[in-house]
Structure 1
Amino acid sequence: MSVFENTVNAGEKISQTAMLELTTSNVWMMLCIALVFIMHLGFACVESGFTQSKNTVNILFKNTLTPAIGLVSYTILGFNLMYPDFADGPGWFDFSGFFLNDNLGLAYNPSFTYWTSFLFQAMFAATAATIVSGAVAERVKISAYLIFTILFVGFVYPAIGSWTWGGGALGDMGFYDFAGSTLVHAVGGWGALAGVIVLGPRLGKYVNGKVVDKPGSSVPLATIGVFLLWFGWFGFNGGSVLSADPAKTSLVLVNTSLAAAAGALGGFLMGYIAFKRLDLGMVLNGVLAGLVGITAGADLMLPGSSLLIGFIAGVLVVLSAMTLDKLKLDDAVGAISVHLTCGIWGTLVVGIFGDKAGWSQFVDQLTGVAICGAAAFGSAFLIFFLLKKTIGVRVSAEHETQGLDSHEHGIRGYTITHE
């Protein structure tokens, strides 16, 4: 026993222990913030790799500004809107003011500080907007996209999130979403679907009833992006434990990785059945599908359930992509299939597997999916529709054909020339 321990009384020992636990959990949460932040690089790589080389700078431009806009708008408005003080009990809307205010200091949470909580949640908010970016790629006006991002991250996402994570009505009803299969991924997916509908498909995507492939610029880059996202998901789900609790954190990380692996296998097998080829794109999206699918219940599942959830998500992402093409809904990178379809699946399975399995919980999950879906899709569609009627949402046919890089940015993403 050290001299210090001999000189403190029991109350001081408890205080020191509590401070050690706070420090440990806070450091873990800050590490998770860094992991979630690196996911934006993953999204940038996936989206630029899966889209045409003539639009690479445009994709990277959007993916650089999206987290920047997300952080600023979430600072000014989003955090207070998402985590209000529902004065009269759980409700649907409350607002406590602009900007950040650390009134509670270290008393904010026994596991982390106010500032840590804000930054972790701000990274989630920016992720929801990034989902939209990939789906509407290669034909959306940059001005329209940026305005949409400000409104979606500043108002829509935090308002819907407050209904569960902010102590609102859905959480009080019993709806459960551990790390955001619905509140982050499906909300972003609904926004992407609204954008795709308003924009319409890329020129030449659907010709005479056939789907025309538009080869991406870099398969290696897309693969790197998926592995970066898988890596970042350890922070996305692991940080959602909201402490460094060793038992729960380790279970969440095991379930997260197993679902991703099973999703890759599901995408591989379903892709081979559907297309009679070894489709790397479906394997990569299968990984992401498994990750999205486990996110709502990563803290509730046994590893065997996580494998099944991930595998089915990998199958669903292929079937969803095929269905969207039949409906002529052009998603440039498969974001709707990954985040919306598998986000819904991941949310519903909370009522099928794990600690909360049961008919009553399933109904709560289904109700939450429907309410959040209606709000997210309705809001996003309205924003895109108003933008279409005012400043326009789509680039000209000439610019789309020749590429957005040269027309909107004046530089190309790939400048290799052959002499």
Structure 2
Amino acid sequence: MSQLRENSQKENEMTLARKFTWALLALPLAALIEPALAQEAAEAVETAEEAAPAMAAAADTAFVFNTILFLMGGFLVMFMAAGFCMLEVGLVRSKNVSMQCLKNIALYSIAGLMFWLVGYNILYDGVDGGYFGSFTWWVTPDPAADTGDYAAASDWFFQMVFCAATASIVSGTVAERVKLWPFLIFTAILTGIMYPITGSWQWGGGWLSEMGFSDFAGSTIVHSVGGWAALAGAILLGARHGKYVDGKVHPIPGSSMPLATLGTFILWLGWFGFNGGSQLALGTMEDASSVARIFVNTNAAAASGVIVAMILSQVIYGKVDLTFALNGALAGLVSITAEPLAPSILWAVIVGGVGGAIVVFAVPLLDKLKIDDVVGAIPVHLMAGIWGTLVVPFSNADASFGTQIVGILAYGVFTFVAALVVWGVLKATMGIRVSREDEVLGLDRVEVGVEAYPEFAASGSQRF
């Protein structure tokens, strides 16, 4: 045992001697390396200091371009309010044109105020995987606090015009027989509470977002929600007098196909802001490329919707119905809105084409059910919105059919039931429909007091 300890002690002494020798030999080498390392470190610090202003400038540039995207996209979507208005006044009779103009400017104004009062915070504030945010009003932030990727106020504006678009969808369906003030009360509830709650489920980071539900720009979140609210209103209002008589459908032509066509073109234009702005960034080459691709797919889907609707109209009815062509464009746009970035152009054409076909087949179906939809908003926004949302997984591998179906059902059930309740309460308390005499006379005289075309009126007077 003592011999082993002695041998071990000798080995330890030899090891220490070797380590000491290597340390002496390494000293000159360290003396040579240390200045080089110090120089490299100094150069790295100097490079970082030189690059800092450039990086800050790049961040500022991205901030500016992202903010511009929100503002320009919001501007285009805001102008869609004019498109909805022109489409509606073209498809209603001349005695109700002023009423539609008033409803559209009023609903946009109400949406702007309600979204500021409570809507924005219900949509975004503290959702965290839940079902809605906070019921507090939105306060414009100090510009000095804009330290993110875009100005907070630009995001508020962009989201507000989406909210207003939802209410515009309802306006056309219930035209020519709904009372003004009950409609505006419904608009306030829709834009201030109903739409923000459902929007929070996905865009606000709520429970559907956690599940992986995908709706890029709102085929369901905006368009189907508006469509469900419109359907509930149409059911409780009933059809216009003379629309369905003795089991037959009696067409009620609109007052101006040129205005309806102009409205469609305005909506088509605004949709580039609707879908393109939903990219939410324009600060890099990749972002710019994505926005360009969204524009191309959006345009292709609309064009396909027009052509398919025209062909089917010719085949089924023997003539090309202009209203089918106009709504075919809108249905194509709604269909591609759920996923305008990922698809190839061919797939965008297919999605939009099916949207156009939905319009042609859905309009007579609604007539069989005696659901009077004056402008065809239910086929365009509700049905085409469901179609577009359902087929997202074909082009976006991150989406699943199961989750998409859950989202479609959730939005449909909540919105339809909530809208039925609101419309029902309004009907029971103050009435939502004008009298038959007022409907025959026209809402311009009864509700507004100003005719759109006074020179064609029997009395020749503009005010009543």
Shorter-chain TM-score range: over 0.9
Please, what TM-score do these two structures have when normalized by structure 1? 0.94
Paired residue total: 407
Per-residue CA deviation, residues 286-317 of structure 1 (Å, 9 max, x unaligned), is: 00000000000112211110000000100001
For 1:152 and 1:381, the matched residues in 2 are separated by: 12
SS at match of 2:186: helix
For 1:302 and 1:199, the matched residues in 2 are separated by: 42
- Cα deviation for residue 133 of structure 1 reads 0.3
Judge which range, 114-123 or 18-27, deviates more.
Answer: 18-27
1:3 alignment counterpart: none
Q: Verify the 8 A CA contact 1:350 1:357 in the aligned structure 2.
A: no
Does the C-alpha gap of structure 1 residues 105 and 253 become closer, same or farther in structure 2, counting only changes over 3 Å?
A: farther
For residue 348 of structure 1, the aligned residue among 390, 394, 409 is 390
For 2:299 and 2:145, the matched residues in 1 are separated by: 33
For residue 278 of structure 1, the aligned residue among 299, 320, 345 is 320
For 2:304 and 2:328, the matched residues in 1 are separated by: 8
For 1:221 and 1:108, the matched residues in 2 are separated by: 44
1:265 alignment counterpart: 307
- Cα deviation for residue 230 of structure 1 reads 0.2
For residue 238 of structure 1, the aligned residue among 276, 279, 286 is 276
For 1:96 and 1:299, the matched residues in 2 are separated by: 33
1:57 alignment counterpart: 98
Amino acid in structure 1 at the alignment position of 2:299: S
The answer to whether residue 85 in structure 2 is matched with residue 44 in structure 1 is: yes
SS at match of 2:251: coil
Amino acid in structure 2 at the alignment position of 1:407: V
Structure (1 or 2) with the larger CA radius of gyration: 2
- Cα deviation for residue 22 of structure 1 reads 1.1
For 1:313 and 1:158, the matched residues in 2 are separated by: 26
Q: Verify the 8 A CA contact 1:290 1:311 in the aligned structure 2.
A: yes
SS at match of 1:163: helix
Per-residue CA deviation, residues 30-72 of structure 1 (Å, 9 max, x unaligned), is: 1111100110000000000001000000111001101100000
For 1:90 and 1:329, the matched residues in 2 are separated by: 37
Q: Verify the 8 A CA contact 2:140 2:153 in the aligned structure 1.
A: no
- Cα deviation for residue 243 of structure 1 reads 1.1
1:16 alignment counterpart: 57
- Cα deviation for residue 93 of structure 1 reads 2.5
For residue 410 of structure 2, the aligned residue among 361, 365, 371 is 371
The answer to whether residue 133 in structure 2 is matched with residue 91 in structure 1 is: no
1:251 alignment counterpart: 293
For residue 321 of structure 1, the aligned residue among 353, 360, 363 is 363
SS at match of 2:204: coil
The answer to whether residue 296 in structure 2 is matched with residue 296 in structure 1 is: no
- Cα deviation for residue 227 of structure 1 reads 0.2
The answer to whether residue 197 in structure 2 is matched with residue 159 in structure 1 is: yes
For 2:396 and 2:213, the matched residues in 1 are separated by: 14
Amino acid in structure 1 at the alignment position of 2:379: S
Please, what TM-score do these two structures have when normalized by structure 2? 0.85
2:255 alignment counterpart: 217
The answer to whether residue 66 in structure 2 is matched with residue 25 in structure 1 is: yes
For residue 397 of structure 1, the aligned residue among 436, 441, 450 is 436
Q: Verify the 8 A CA contact 1:32 1:235 in the aligned structure 2.
A: yes
- Cα deviation for residue 94 of structure 1 reads 2.9
- Cα deviation for residue 101 of structure 1 reads 4.5
For residue 112 of structure 2, the aligned residue among 71, 75, 91 is 71
Amino acid in structure 1 at the alignment position of 2:159: Q
- Cα deviation for residue 415 of structure 1 reads 2.1
For residue 305 of structure 1, the aligned residue among 337, 347, 351 is 347
- Find runs of 4+ consecutive structure 1 residues off by over 6 angstroms: none
Judge which range, 93-102 or 191-200, deviates more.
Answer: 93-102
- Cα deviation for residue 417 of structure 1 reads 4.1
- Cα deviation for residue 416 of structure 1 reads 2.7
SS at match of 2:434: coil
Amino acid in structure 1 at the alignment position of 2:173: A
